[in-house]
Structure 1
Amino acid sequence: MNKKIFSLIILTLISAVLISGCTTNSAASASSWPGMMLDNQTGYLAYGTQVYALDVKNGSLLWKYPAEGSSKSQFYAAPEVSDSLVIVGDYTNTLYALDKENGFEKWQFTDAEDRYIASSLLNNGIVYAPNTDSYLYALDDNGNLLWRFKANGPNWSKPLADENHLYLTSMDHFLYVLNLNYSEAELAADKDGGKTLVSEPVWSLDLGTAVVSNPVLEDGILYVGTVDGIVYAVDLEKQSVVWKYTVEDEMASIWGTPVLTSDAVFFGDENGNLYAVDKKDGSALWPSPFETGASLISSGITVDDKAVFAASDGKIFSIDSSKEPKTLTTLDAVIYSPLGFEDGKIVVVPASSEALVKAIDTNGNEVWTYLPTK
């Protein structure tokens, strides 16, 4: 099948996923899978009508926002946190800033015209918030608009930053590189007449197909997967692709963030195949992929220099660059949400009727389970 046609089919299916829902036996009515962020032994979870803060040590609820959920707001984008704020966007075009200690609302930003599917990035007091209306919004920590940049398609991926630049991958096929800050003199007039528009990126790179997963950045190299089943390593200083990896007509869409170990890059596709390639040159480390038997939608993590993944059938396993897998546990749940690792615990979000969030140790033993009270 022509890859461009395949991409269109995939994007149609992605839209259908968000409309019809991906979780089963859900504790709340869902139209996507939960988003989770771990920080300093606290887990911040966006799911349905509420945002939760949980103690990673024991799974106890620290706070939730709002205290009583309302169908007017639906949260699925993973929260982003700073020393004092939790930033989370909803499906009704609103970005919220919450007090990190108690979950009290501090401000709202309502200028966006579509959903927040991607997480925001908080960097040096600036909130960088991508939206599916094609804009990336840069706000100060009081919620005031500083500037915005318009891509040519929806933005589903969390931005990344280094000391000098901001990096945004978009469904319009491009990697965009922006400055972290802009003076008023560098901005153009936006549609409302204010000088808030970044008219051109510092540079950009056409990846040839849409990106819906979060990239990862290490040592000046950005790694990202696409819906066409291609993984790219981009040298940001040289502004060029170092290597790309695909298996023609075999690799399916990549939803998860690539997992990096000391020597390898691991990534799974929608068909349930897991690949490992050499971090330096992108050469395959295995003669054939590891077949999990179920879709790999969830982003994995690195634990003790091994990659840990969750398949959609509930199996959680680790694997190393020698292709030695170990099943840690199998949950009776469909798993699409990214895994997390904090305080020696692997945190899973099965979003089932038995558990919204679950923590296991590195041997697969259950540590705690959290299920909201009705």
Structure 2
Amino acid sequence: MMFASDNMGPAAPEIIDAIARANEGHHMPYGNDPVTPEVVAAVRALFEAPEAAVHLVATGTAANALALATLANPWDGIFMHRVAHAEEDECGAPEFYTGGAKMVLVDGEKGKMTPEGLKAAIARTGDKGVHGVQRGPVTITNITEVGSLYTLDEIRALTDVAKSYGLKTHLDGARMANACAALGCTPAEMTWKAGIDAVSFGGTKNGCLGVEAVIFFDPAQARETELRRKRGGHLFSKHRFLSAQMRAYVKDGLWLRLAEQANARCAELAEGITALPGAQIEAEPQGNMIFAHLPRRAHKRAMEAGAKYYLFPFDVSLDGPEDELIRCRFVCDWSCTPQSVQDLLGHFRG
């Protein structure tokens, strides 16, 4: 009953097998192994972008920060939702890697920016000449930090606003596979066909041991990204172990199958929580994440039985009125089983 994060899940067997195969023999370091060119070609094919620049790193924070550092000057503002992952959970990494770019936060319901909100934020930035930060890139998180989903039309509306000001747009795709599975769209449709200039294509949350692809659809960005990755300490010596993971991840649609499994378990869990007396779901889940409110007694039963998930706020006590509703978050990873969902629901019911 592990529902705290999709980071908790194991690596998929196909990924472990690929790493084991990559461990055979000796190969040149720093991406000069035989696997890396195959991965670049496979990722380009997946995104229908034959000239895209593709660079692998081990963490989502590195992927986002390095991508934004390539798109932003130190004196720029980077536009994002107020609860974007890059704002709330990366310990200032985008500011660090960009050399000081400012995060310009945009409000919007359900963790999503609106075109009107983004336009207003851009319009009031960069109007002080040399005395203020300049207009820089936009970054969109899909799936968002509150579990909501940007549709393709919503992404296009935001990139249209950015382009009207001559700005680039980055997609934080740590859970992009779950978003594609939910929308039934291709990676190309969610990214460059919708106006996205760069994407962090995540694998770690979806069955990989640790690999993310930083993709720029304009190959002119390739050299700068390569240098920033090295300078930032994220060019692996034994790069073949990153490449082996990503090759297995994109092969035969594994990335999508794993995300579909996680989304399906999340839908089952949401249906079960909705049927619980006194429970409330904040919004119908669109991917693999649920925010809900359950009575304290239900949380106590589940956690005493070994269930793992987050309560909000983190320091809330399980001692108190039994019927008081406490907010929580559940995230399903690819390995979550129907039985584990039913076990959790059973403990909630008592």
TM-score range, shorter chain: under 0.3
TM-score with structure 1 setting the length? 0.25
- Higher relative contact order by CA 8 Å / sep ≥ 6: 1 or 2? 2
TM-score normalised according to structure 2 size: 0.26
